[in-house]
Copies of this chain bind each other. A is one copy, B any other.
Amino acid sequence: MAGTDFSQRIDLLPTPAVILVEPQLGENIGTAARAMANFGLWDLRLVKPRDGWPNEKAVAAASRADHVIERVRVFDRLEDAVADLSLVYATTARSRDMQKEVIGPDEAARRMAAHIGGGKGAGLLFGREKWGLLNDEVALADIIVTLPVEPAFASLNIAQAVLILAYEWRLQSGRGQLPFDSGLAEAAPRSELVGLFEHLEGVLDQTGFFTTPDKRPSMVNNLRTALTRGNFTSQEIRTLRGVISSIDRRHERPNPNRMKKAED
């Protein structure tokens, strides 16, 4: 899905921090940064990334999410990475035997939006590729967030888990408007549609389409019903009338293909 408009400025609005705990692969840090950027997040924090920081593979995988990559902060301890936050949610695909509430990404995003809207800091923890967050890391969080996945196939890549949370953040924080509109032209005034009907029906009267006069009214109704559903614009009605005329006049001029066929 190409479509990025690089002429547009990126505003760094208040958003949740994304905290990756001991990420192993630079690619995953980069794709997580890209997923964040897609939905307007930019505060990425790493706790003990295995391959250090900066990481070239992360930069490559971020696909120009430079405004995220440039602001990455690295911490030795999770406690320090969340020090400035007053709402911390831990993402996990596994049930933990802990006295913690479990909520989905939509509810998590709603609560974070209310918290951040009140001028306070919130963050989301994501665990290691292989085994997620440790229980003592989850214990530092207020609440557990999990995704409504297929239980028989629950393993998400980190960037994909980040993407879903970032998407819901955008929806629930009131920025869910689409980047472009339908821009549908208005349907033509009904008089033009009736003009199309009468043009078509007049031609069909000539061609013998209406097999018997008593069947004509219901056949006309069916045609009109089908053609009304399209909500044609004035331009489309002009095109369709041109189509009808073109077919109607076919016998008035020689058709090279037909003549060739006749010769075969």
Which A residues between 144 and 162 are near B, CB-CB below 8 angstroms?
144, 146-161
Interface residues on A, range: 35 or more
Q: Which of B103, B104, B158, B164 contacts A164 (CB under 8 A)?
A: B164
Count of chain copies: 2
Q: Which of B3, B184, B236 contacts A93 (CB under 8 A)?
A: B3
CB contacts (< 8 Å) of A152 on chain B: these are: 4-6, 8-10
Q: Which of B156, B167, B183 contacts A95 (CB under 8 A)?
A: B183
Instruction: Give Cα A93–Cα B4 distance, bound, in whole angstroms.
Output: 8
The answer, yes or no, to whether A45 is at the interface (CB within 8 Å) is no
Cβ-defined contact, B158 with A160, below 8 A: no
CB contacts (< 8 Å) of A10 on chain B: these are: 150, 152-153
A242-255 interface code vs B (CB 8 A; 1 in, 0 out): 00000000000000
Knowing that A154-B179, A160-B160 touch, tell me 7 more A-B residue pairs with CB under 8 angstroms: A1-B92, A5-B152, A38-B156, A64-B153, A95-B181, A144-B182, A160-B163
Chain A contacts to B: CB under 8 angstroms: 1-6, 8-10, 31, 34-35, 37-40, 63-65, 91-95, 97, 99-104, 106, 126-127, 130-132, 144, 146-161, 163-164, 167, 170-171, 175-185, 233, 236
